[in-house]
Amino acid sequence: MLKLNYVSFVVSDMQKALDFYRLLGLSISPDADTTQDHIEISVDGLRIAWETETLMRQLDRGWAAPMRGGRVSIALEAASPEEVDEAVKRIKKAGHAVKTEPFDAFWGQRYATVLDPDGTAVDVFALLE
User: Which stretches of 14-80 are DSSP H helices?
Assistant: 14-23, 53-59
Position 129 scores a pLDDT of 80
Span 46-79, pLDDT tens digits: 999 999 999 999 999 999 888 777 778 899 999 9
Q: Are strands 46-52 and 38-43 parallel, antiparallel or unpaired?
A: antiparallel
* CATH numbers and ranges of domains, the chain: 6-127 (3.10.180.10)
Query: What's the whole-model pTM score?
Result: 0.90
Sequential pLDDT tens for the chain (129 residues): 888 999 999 999 999 999 999 999 999 999 999 999 999 999 999 999 999 999 999 999 999 888 777 778 899 999 999 999 999 999 999 999 999 999 999 999 999 999 999 999 999 999 998
Give the residue among 14, 10, 12, 16 at the shortest CA–CA distance from 56: 10
Burial zone of 125 (CB within 10 Å; 0-12 exposed, 13-18 middle, 19+ buried): buried
For residue 2, the one-letter residue type is L
